[in-house]
Structure 1
Amino acid sequence: MTTQNQSATEEKKYFNLYLQGIGYLNSVRTITRHRQSYLKVSVAVLQGPADSADYTYIDCTVVGIEAKQLISHCAQEINSSREAVLACFTLSDLWVSPYIHQKGDRRGQPGAGLTSNLLSLSMIKINGETVYIAPPKENTSDESPANATQTPDALDTTDRPETIDDLEAIDSGDLTDGTEDTMAAHDAA
């Protein structure tokens, strides 16, 4: 009986992978699977030199409570082709998500994309105007490092990467493999 009590009081320990970066938010949508709804957003992550940055596309499930509120509040701007929404973020649990192409020359062929969980946002800019900065947090040894809340002047731009035309088809659930939510960024390549 003491063994059962000991294991109940012991905490589980995890190895976590956190990704912090800056990128453009695109395509906010709600996906319903197995009677549960998930808020999703695509992130065009900036990487490389500020004057010639490359984009890495990651499809994210928004899991942070505050992040869900912020994304929902800015959904119209994020989905608008006239608005550029730049954000500093923290992601976790990056994985490769395989799928089968549904359209184009690669129809029926396997593909893969990056998928992650969006935990938090530390800054949001819409068309270069800062609309949200997270309050500073006390840093403890169990938490991830504080997010950058300021962006370099080189990244104050309203240009954003092209969005994918066939996201609606992917999000509608017409998929051969249920693991493909949206990796249309790789379809466009």
Structure 2
Amino acid sequence: MSSNESNKYFDLHTSGIGYLNRIREVTPEKGTPFLSVTISALHGSVDDVHYAHFECPVSGKKAQQVVRQLTPAVEGKLKVLVGFTLSDLSAESFIHKHGDKAGQTGVGLKARLLRIWWAKVDGQPFFKEQESAA
């Protein structure tokens, strides 16, 4: 649980490993523009990997810096694998508008990207968060 002087919150954090995709600046009609990404998180057996796709505004300051540094690699279609922490997971239903699933209901997962612990580009180390002295 986290708190400040007047409010207390129950934090729900999700950690995982996944591929970074679709880095973009989102400019809402009302509100402040923000950095957003899609993370294709890996789960299941290493012999039969499954993916969960998360649409994420990038909230953490350090995460924003790392994502901006990784943008050229993602835009260059390189494989960018990251260790991450998400917060405020939610699901949102939608209707597919195109393709084989047109007219069917789908579910999108959303969360805030708080932290990137490490990143690899095409299997090569790119970033690793430094351990902080406690």
**Which bin holds the TM-score, normalised by the shorter protein?**
0.7 to 0.9
Corresponding letter in the other structure for 2:87: S
| 2:50 maps to which of 47, 54, 58 | 54
CA offset digits 1:12-71 (Å, max 9, x no partner): 110010011111111101111114212111111011222332111111110101111110
Q: TM-score, normalised by structure 2?
A: 0.87
Quick check: 1:125 aligned with 2:120? yes
Partners of 1:51 and 1:106 lie apart in 2 by 27
Partners of 1:15 and 1:114 lie apart in 2 by 20
Corresponding letter in the other structure for 1:66: K
Partners of 1:44 and 1:25 lie apart in 2 by 7
Partner secondary structure for residue 11 of structure 1? coil
| Alpha-carbon spacing, 1:98–1:11, altered in 2? closer, same or farther (3 Å) | same
Name the stretch that deviates more: 102-111 or 12-21.
102-111
Partners of 1:116 and 1:138 lie apart in 2 by 29
CA offset digits 1:98-141 (Å, max 9, x no partner): 223222244344322100000010100001110100011356xx
Name the stretch that deviates more: 34-43 or 122-131.
34-43
- Identical columns (%): 35
More helix by share: 1
Corresponding letter in the other structure for 2:72: Q
Partners of 2:105 and 2:22 lie apart in 1 by 23
Corresponding letter in the other structure for 1:13: K
Q: Structure 2: where are the runs of 5+ without partners?
A: none
CA displacement at 1:92 relative to structure 2: 0.4
Q: TM-score, normalised by structure 1?
A: 0.63
Is the radius of gyration larger for structure 1 or structure 2? 1
Partner secondary structure for residue 68 of structure 1? helix
Partners of 1:105 and 1:126 lie apart in 2 by 32
More strand by share: 2
Partner secondary structure for residue 118 of structure 2? strand
| Structure 2 match to 1:75 | 71
| Alpha-carbon spacing, 1:41–1:11, altered in 2? closer, same or farther (3 Å) | same
Partner secondary structure for residue 22 of structure 1? strand
